[in-house]
Amino acid sequence: MTIPFKTLSRRTFLRGAGGITIGLPLLDAMIPSASAGGTKGQPKRFIVMFSANGTIEEAFRPQGGVSDFSFTRPDGGLHILDPLEAIRDDIMVLWGLDMLSRNGGPGGNGHDMGMGHMLTCQELVVGPSGIGEFSHLPDGSAGGISIDQAIADRIGNETAFRSVEFGVRSLLDLQRQVTSRMCYRGPFEALPPENDPAGAFTSLFTDLAADPTELAELRARRGSVLDKVADDFNRLNAKVGAADRQKLEAHLGAIRELEQSLFADGGPLAACAVPDAPMGLDPNSNDQYPAVGRAQMDLMTMALACDLTRVASLQWSTAQSGIRFSWLGHSDSHHALSHEADNDDNARAQLIEINHWYAQQFTYLVESLKAVPEGEGTMLDNTVVLWVNEQGNGDLHTSTDVPFVVAGNAEGYFNTGRSLVIDGRAHNDLYVSMLHAMGQTDVTSFGLSDLSQGPLDELT
Amino acid sequence: MRRRTTGLCLLLATGCYSGNQVDAAGGTDASGVSSADGTVGETGVDTEGGSDTDGGGEPSACGELPAPGSAPIRRLTPFELDNTLADLLGDNTSPAAGLPEEGGSGFDNNAEVGAVSRLVAQKYMQMAEDVAIRATTDLPGLLGCDVAAPDCVRSFVSDFGQRVWRRPLEPGEVDDMMVLFGDARATFDEPTSVGVLLEAFLQSPFFLYRVELAGTDATEAVPLDGWEMATRLSYLMWGSMPDDALFAAASAGELQTQAQIEAQARRMLEDPKAQRMVLHFYEQWLLYKNLDVIAKDDGVFPEYGSDIAALQRQEIEAFLNHVIWEGEGSLEAFLTADYTFVNDQLAAFYGIEGSFGSDFTRVDRPGQAAGVVTQGGVMSVFSKPNQTSPVSRGLYVREHLLCQIPPPPPDDVDLRPPEPTEDSTTRERYSQHSEDPACSGCHVLMDPLGFGLENYDGVGRWRDNENDTPIDASGVLAFAGLEMEDEAFDGPVELGAKLQLSPDMTSCVARQWFRFAYGRTESAELDACTLAQIDQSFADADYNLRELMVGLTQTDAFLYRPGGAQ
C-alpha cells in the first residue's frame, strides 16, 4: 500500500489548519509526484444548477438575434437574465426545447413529473404499491439515470468524489420524494443532496487540511478497514437475491470509490486552497437561503479547483419550491406567486424578481469558476454549467419551452455568446450534446431513445 | 364493530373535477387510495391469547400458506443508528446526525427507495471513526478485560460481535477480525487498534443492514430464525438493537411461536424505549416534525417563534404519551380527547388561564379540543405563515388521516392563498376562492374539513371570532368510508367524533403502521392477508393503539419471509 503524498513537515502544515486558507505554495507540495509535472490535460467538468417553478417567457427570452441579443424587454421592465450580461460571451441561452418524455408515464402533478423527467428524460416509475399513479407517487421514482451521473460515469472516476450533490434547503418531502430529488444513479436510487455547508466542508476538505503524517496513517488504516468491509459485502452479496443485491452492490461500489479516493491519482490544482469552514449557517432557515447558497457555491468551486470532483450539482430548494423570498420583500411563496403571475402584475413582477435573483446566483457561480486560473485560461474554459428548471410556464405546469442556460464551452466544443431558439427537439438531445461535450462522442441518445435525434448541431 | 373500508373510487366516480387526470380505469387502488378491499373473515386472530399458526382463526384473505409479501433488505435509518449506538456503546452524541434525509411513502425507513452514494459511505466512515474514538477512551471498560491479557480481544470480538451484528459470529469471522487487529497493532497502539475493529464492525453490512437470510434457498415462505426475529422485534418496538433478554430468547430458540413473539412484544412495549419509537412514527405520520422548520410571518404572529414551535412539539408529545401509554390507548381518545398538555409559557401563549409550572400538565378544554385533530402544533404546521389554511388542513385530514390521495390540482389555477383582509373571514375568502367549478369538484374533499378547524388560528390558538365575525366551523365529512353516510358536523370537536366513526380512518391508522413497521408500502394483492390480519386484530382490540402494535407482530408479513432470495 503506497501513500502517494509527499511528506510535509508538521510545522509547515499546521499553518493550514484551523480554518485558515492555505496558500498555493503549500499545496503544491501535496500534488502527487506522478502528476506534478502537469503532463495530463486539463480535466473537463460538468455542473448542473436547478431552480424551480418555471419562468416567464418575455422576461426570459433575449431580444435581438443570435449574437446581437440583449437582455432587455420592450416595455423596459426587469429582464430575468440581466445579470448574465457580465458573462454574455460565455453563455448560450436556449429557448424552445421540450420535455417530451413527460407526455407519457405515471404521475399527475406537473412538478413531480417535471422534476423526475428533468435530468433523466424518461418516464417515472410507480412504486411497488402502485399508489398514486395518476397523482404524486409516494413510493415512486424517476425512471433512470440522470445526466450528471451519466457524465460522472465517464469523467468522474479519477477524482476522490465521482460527483458531489449540493442542496440549498432541498428538504425531502417523504410523501412526494420525486419533487425533492433530481440526481439518480437509477430508478429508486436518488442521490440525496448535502444541504448543510458545514457537512459538505467536512466531507470534502477535512483530509486536505489534515496533518499529512497523520493523514497518511489514517488513510492506510481506512484502506484496511474498507477492505474488510468490502469482504463482508462480497460474502453477503453471494447469499441474497437480485433486488437486495442491487442495493448492496451500489453500497459496495460507493465503498470502492471511497477506497480508491484514498489513493486517487488526482491532486489539487495550483489554485486549490482549503476554504474556511462555514460557520453559523442554519441550512433549515428560509431567510438564510441566500447565505447558505453562497457558501455551497464557494465550496463547490473549490472542490472543483482542488480536483476533488469533476461533476457537481446545486439544487436550490425543490420542485414546487415554497421558499419565501423575504430578502426581496416578498410575503408569498415562490410557488404561490408562480400560479398567479399570468393574472396579477404584482405577482408577475415578484416572480420575475425571483428568477432574476437565481440568474444572479448562476452568474456568481460562473464568475467564480472564471476566477480560477487553469492552464492558459480559466477553469470555466474546461467546464459546462447548465441551469435547468422543472417547468416551462410555472402557472400552466408546461413541459414545452423549458428554459435552459449553458455556460462554458468545454474546451471549445460549444460556440458560446449566443441566444438560440431550438424548436421541436426533446431536451434529451441537449444532454446528448452534453455527453459529446464531455468527450463521449459515440452517444446518439439519452433517456427515452425514440425521442433523441442526436446532438444539437446548433450548439457547436 | 365491523366496518368496511372503501377507496377513493366512489369519490372519483362522482367526478372530482372532470377534465383532469383521474383514474380512467374506473377507480382502483391505482387511483391513489391505499386500502385493501377490507373483507375479513368471520373468525379473527386471537390477539389476547396469541394463537399459533395452526390454530385456525385466520381472516379469509389468508390462504393455507403464509403470504408475507415482499421483504426488501432494510438499512438502519439515522434515527435507528443513533438509538443503536446509544444502546450498544452508550454513545449518546447522535452520531448519525449528519446523514442525509432518506425515505419515501411518508416514512424515513422505507426500504424501497434510496441508494448509498460515495458521500453517504464517507459519512458512515466518519461516523464509525468518531464513535470508535469515543468508545476507546476507556479501553478496559469497553473490553471488560486487560487488552494485553491472552484472549481478551478475541473474547471481545466474539461477544461484542454478537451484539453489533445481532447474531453470533462464525469462527472464521472472529479469525478475520483478529487478523485485522493484528495488522493494526503492527502500526498502531492498542486503543487505535481496537478502534479499527469497531470501524470495521460498524461499516459492515451486517451492522448497517438488517440482514435476513432465512428462506433464501426455500421455495415457500419460511419463518425467520431467532436472531432475525429478535432484530425485527427490536427495531419495530424500539427503533434500536435487541436487548440482552431478546438475544437470550433468540439463543434459546424462544422466538418461534406466535405466543412467544407476542409475549416479547408486550414486554418491550413496557420499556421506555418504546415511547421514543412510537413518537418517531407519529411525528412523521402527523407531520408535526415540521415544527422544527416552520416559520411564521412576524408581522401577523409576532409572538410565535421557534421557542413556541418547540413547545408545541412537546405538547403533542405529552398528549400522545398520555393517550398511548397512560390513558386507555384508544383511537377514540386519540381523535376526541377534550384535553391537552401545557406548561406556563405555552398556556400564556394560548391564553389559557391557570398555573402549570414549567413541566407539561394536563388541561381540560371541553368544547375545544379533539385529540390530535386540534393539536396546536398540527394546526400551526398546516397553516400559512400569515393565516390559517382550510385547504392545507383539509388535505391533511384527507391524506394523512384517511389515506386518500386526491388528484393534483389542475394546471393553471391560482394557488395563491387569498390575502387576509380586515373585513372578511378566512372561510369567506377561501369559499370564494374555490367557487370555480374546476376547483370545487375536489375542494369539496378538503375545504369543508378545514373549515371545521377554523376555530384554531394560524398558530394553533383558539378563537371564537375572526375580525369580529363569529367563526362558522360547520362542515361535512364526506367520502370517509363505503358504508358511511356523509356526516355533517359543527366545529372541531364534532369533526373529531365523526372521524372516529370513519372506516377509512381506522383502516388508515393500520396502513400507516404497516408502512412504518415493515418499511414498505402495502400491496393490495400480495399483502391482502396481512392487511386483513391487522384490521381484524385492531378491531378485536376495540381500536386500541397499543394492541395495534402487538398485532403488527402477529401477521404473515412479520412472522415470515417469502421463499427464494429477495
- Judged against a pLDDT cut of 70, whether residue B565 lies above it is answered with no
Q: Which grid cell sits at B25?
A: 380505469
Residue A11 confidence (pLDDT):
27
| Nearest residue, CB atoms, A164 vs list B22, B72, B119 | B119
A251 contacts B205? CB cut-off 8 A = yes
Higher pLDDT among residues B426 and A22, named by residue: B426
- Looking only at the bridges linking them, the beta strands covering A311-316 and A45-50 are parallel
Torsion of Cα atoms, B536 then B541 then B542 then B546, to 10° = -110
Interface test with B, best of A1, A115, A126, A134 (most B CBs within 10 A): A134
Residue A393 confidence (pLDDT):
93
CA A439 to chain centre: 19
In chain B, which residues have their Cβ closer than 8 Å to the Cβ of A335? Answer: 415
Query: Which pLDDT band holds residue B417 (cuts at 50, 70, 90)?
Result: confident
Higher pLDDT among residues B474 and A17, named by residue: B474
Give strand pairing partners of B560. Answer: B223
In chain A, which residues have their Cβ closer than 8 Å to the Cβ of B417? Answer: 332, 336
| Nearest residue, CB atoms, A284 vs list B117, B188, B293 | B293
- Judged against a pLDDT cut of 70, whether residue B11 lies above it is answered with no
Instruction: Note whether B504 contacts A: Cβ–Cβ < 8 A.
Output: no
| Nearest residue, CB atoms, A177 vs list B23, B104, B521 | B104
Average per-residue pLDDT in chain B? 88
Q: In what helix (H) or strand (E) does residue B362 lie, and over which residues does it extend?
A: strand B361-364
CB count within 10 Å of CB A334 equals 24
Higher pLDDT among residues A242 and B5, named by residue: A242
Residue A17 confidence (pLDDT):
30
Using one digit for the tens of pLDDT, what is the confidence trace for B194-220?
999 999 999 999 999 999 998 888 889
Cβ contacts of residue B90 below 8 Å, gap of 6+? Answer: none
Instruction: Note whether A395 contacts B: Cβ–Cβ < 8 A.
Output: yes
Residue B505 confidence (pLDDT):
95
From the list A416, A27, A445, A398, the residue with the least C-alpha distance to A207 is A27
Higher pLDDT among residues B412 and B99, named by residue: B99
Most confident of A25-34, B54-63, B317-326: B317-326
| Nearest residue, CB atoms, A229 vs list B126, B200, B564 | B200
In tens digits, what is the pLDDT along chain A, a chain of 460 residues? 333 322 322 222 322 333 223 333 333 333 333 333 233 468 999 999 999 999 999 999 999 999 999 999 999 999 999 999 999 999 999 999 999 999 999 988 889 999 999 999 999 999 877 777 878 888 889 999 999 999 999 999 888 899 999 999 999 998 888 999 999 999 999 999 999 999 999 999 988 888 888 888 899 999 999 999 999 999 999 999 888 999 999 999 999 989 888 765 445 567 788 888 999 999 989 999 999 999 999 999 999 999 999 999 999 999 999 999 999 999 889 998 998 888 889 999 999 999 999 999 999 999 999 999 998 899 999 999 999 999 999 988 999 999 999 999 999 999 999 999 999 899 999 999 999 999 999 999 999 999 999 999 999 9
Residues 72-101 of B with CB under 8 A from A: 72-73, 75, 98, 100-101
In chain B, which residues have their Cβ closer than 8 Å to the Cβ of A254? Answer: 116-118, 120-121
CA A244 – CA B210 distance, rounded (Å): 11
Q: What is the average per-residue pLDDT within B239-258?
A: 98
CA B412 – CA A238 distance, rounded (Å): 52
Q: In what helix (H) or strand (E) does residue A418 lie, and over which residues does it extend?
A: strand A418-421
Instruction: Note whether A134 contacts B: Cβ–Cβ < 8 A.
Output: yes
Residue A386 confidence (pLDDT):
98
B566 contacts A241? CB cut-off 8 A = yes
| Closest-approach residue (CA) in chain A for B410 | A109
Residue B563 confidence (pLDDT):
81
CATH code at A444? 3.40.720.10
Residue A31 confidence (pLDDT):
36
Instruction: Note whether A102 contacts B: Cβ–Cβ < 8 A.
Output: no
Using one digit for the tens of pLDDT, what is the confidence trace for A333-385?
999 899 888 888 999 999 999 999 999 999 999 999 999 999 889 999 999 99
Q: Is residue A413 part of a domain?
A: yes
| Nearest residue, CB atoms, B119 vs list A177, A203, A247 | A203
Q: Is residue A27 part of a domain?
A: no
Span of A3-7, A364-368, B63-67, B317-321 with lowest mean pLDDT: A3-7
Residue A264 confidence (pLDDT):
59
Instruction: Note whether B184 contacts A: Cβ–Cβ < 8 A.
Output: yes
Residue B414 confidence (pLDDT):
66
Interface test with A, best of B118, B130, B177 (most A CBs within 10 A): B118
What is the torsional sign of CA B528, B534, B539, B543? negative
Instruction: Note whether B7 contacts A: Cβ–Cβ < 8 A.
Output: no
Give, in order, the Cα–Cα distances in Å from A97 to each of A118, A415, B215, B454. Answer: 12, 18, 51, 45
| Nearest residue, CB atoms, B122 vs list A110, A203, A240 | A203
In chain A, which residues have their Cβ closer than 8 Å to the Cβ of B102? Answer: 172, 192
Residue A261 confidence (pLDDT):
80
Q: Which grid cell sits at B468?
A: 369580529
CA A5 – CA B534 distance, rounded (Å): 60
Give, in order, the Cα–Cα distances in Å from A456 to each of A53, A97, A289, A414. Answer: 25, 11, 35, 10
The parent domain of residue A308 ranges over 41-196+281-459
- Closest CA of chain B from A390, distance in Å: 14
- Closest CA of chain A from B285, distance in Å: 10
Residues 223-282 of A with CB under 8 A from B: 224-226, 228-229, 231-233, 236, 239-244, 247-248, 250-251, 254-255, 257-258, 261
Q: Is residue A176 part of a domain?
A: yes
- The C-alpha cell 481496537 sits at B194
| Nearest residue, CB atoms, B106 vs list A138, A233, A243 | A138
- Closest CA of chain A from B284, distance in Å: 9
Span of A119-128, A245-254, B299-308, B399-408 with lowest mean pLDDT: B399-408
Q: Which grid cell sits at B312?
A: 408545541
In chain B, which residues have their Cβ closer than 8 Å to the Cβ of A347? Answer: 416
A331 contacts B297? CB cut-off 8 A = yes
Using one digit for the tens of pLDDT, what is the confidence trace for B338-388?
999 999 999 999 999 999 999 999 999 999 999 999 999 999 999 998 899
Residue B413 confidence (pLDDT):
67
B196 contacts A337? CB cut-off 8 A = no
Quote helix, strand, coil % in chain B, to nearest 5. 50, 5, 45
| Nearest residue, CB atoms, B122 vs list A225, A258, A324 | A258
Q: What is the DSSP string of A217-273?
A: HHHHHHHHHHHHHHHHHHHHHTTS-HHHHHHHHHHHHHHHHHHHHHT-S----TT--
CB-hemisphere CA count at 13 Å for B222?
17
CB count within 10 Å of CB A421 equals 14
Q: Is residue A215 part of a domain?
A: no
- The C-alpha cell 457558501 sits at A295
Residues 209-238 of B with CB under 8 A from A: 209, 211, 213, 216
Q: What is the average per-residue pLDDT within B109-113?
A: 90
Work out how many CB contacts closer than 8 A connect A with B.
255
Domain count, chain A: 1
Residues 20-59 of A with CB under 8 A from B: none
Q: What percent of chain B has pLDDT over 70?
A: 89
CA B177 – CA B153 distance, rounded (Å): 10
In chain A, which residues have their Cβ closer than 8 Å to the Cβ of B293? Answer: 171, 284
Q: Which grid cell sits at A221?
A: 488504516
A167 and A315 in contact (C-beta within 8 Å)?
yes
B521 contacts A240? CB cut-off 8 A = no
Query: Which pLDDT band holds residue B484 (cuts at 50, 70, 90)?
Result: confident
Q: What is the DSSP string of A189-208?
A: EEPPPB--HHHHHHHHHHHH
Q: In what helix (H) or strand (E) does residue B82 lie, and over which residues does it extend?
A: helix B78-89
In chain B, which residues have their Cβ closer than 8 Å to the Cβ of A340? Answer: 414-416
Instruction: Note whether B566 contacts A: Cβ–Cβ < 8 A.
Output: yes
Interface test with B, best of A232, A321, A351 (most B CBs within 10 A): A232
- Judged against a pLDDT cut of 80, whether residue B180 lies above it is answered with yes
Instruction: Note whether A411 contacts B: Cβ–Cβ < 8 A.
Output: no
| Closest-approach residue (CA) in chain B for A251 | B116
B184 contacts A161? CB cut-off 8 A = no
Higher pLDDT among residues B53 and A453, named by residue: A453
Using one digit for the tens of pLDDT, what is the confidence trace for B18-51?
333 322 232 333 233 333 333 222 233 333 333 3
- Closest CA of chain A from B120, distance in Å: 8
A458 and A420 in contact (C-beta within 8 Å)?
yes
Cβ neighbourhood burial of B352 (10 Å; 0-12, 13-18, 19+): middle
Cβ neighbourhood burial of A376 (10 Å; 0-12, 13-18, 19+): exposed
From the list B559, B548, B554, the residue with the least C-alpha distance to B509 is B548
Residue A22 confidence (pLDDT):
30
Q: Which grid cell sits at B540?
A: 378485536
Q: What is the average per-residue pLDDT within B138-161?
A: 96
Q: What percent of chain B has pLDDT over 90?
A: 73
Using one digit for the tens of pLDDT, what is the confidence trace for B274-286?
999 999 999 999 9
B284 contacts A174? CB cut-off 8 A = yes
Query: Which pLDDT band holds residue B60 (cuts at 50, 70, 90)?
Result: confident
